Amino acid sequence: MRIHVDDDSCCGHGVCVGLCPQVFALTDDGYAEAVDAEIPTQWEAAVTEAIARCPEQAIQTH
């Protein structure tokens, strides 16, 4: 699984970071980013939940 956080859509709610801090982090500006675009299999379920619960739908898979 590969993911991307859309900088233009993210409002910095941090839901993804709360659900999966192994994959997501907040930048110095307070917006989410993926620590690595390629997600290890062990974190896929948490990332899928983060995608579903993102208020801005800013996380995409590709």
Q: What is the pLDDT of residue 52?
A: 98
For residue 25, count other CB atoms closer than 10 A to its CB. Answer: 15
Q: What is the pLDDT of residue 12?
A: 96
Residue 13 lies in domain: 3-61
pTM above 0.95, yes or no: no
Stretches where the chain sits below pLDDT 50 are none
Strands 3-5 and 59-61: antiparallel
- Can you name the residues that pair with 61 across neighbouring β-strands? 3
Counting the structural domains of the chain, the total is 1
Helix (H) or strand (E) holding 47, with range, is helix 44-53
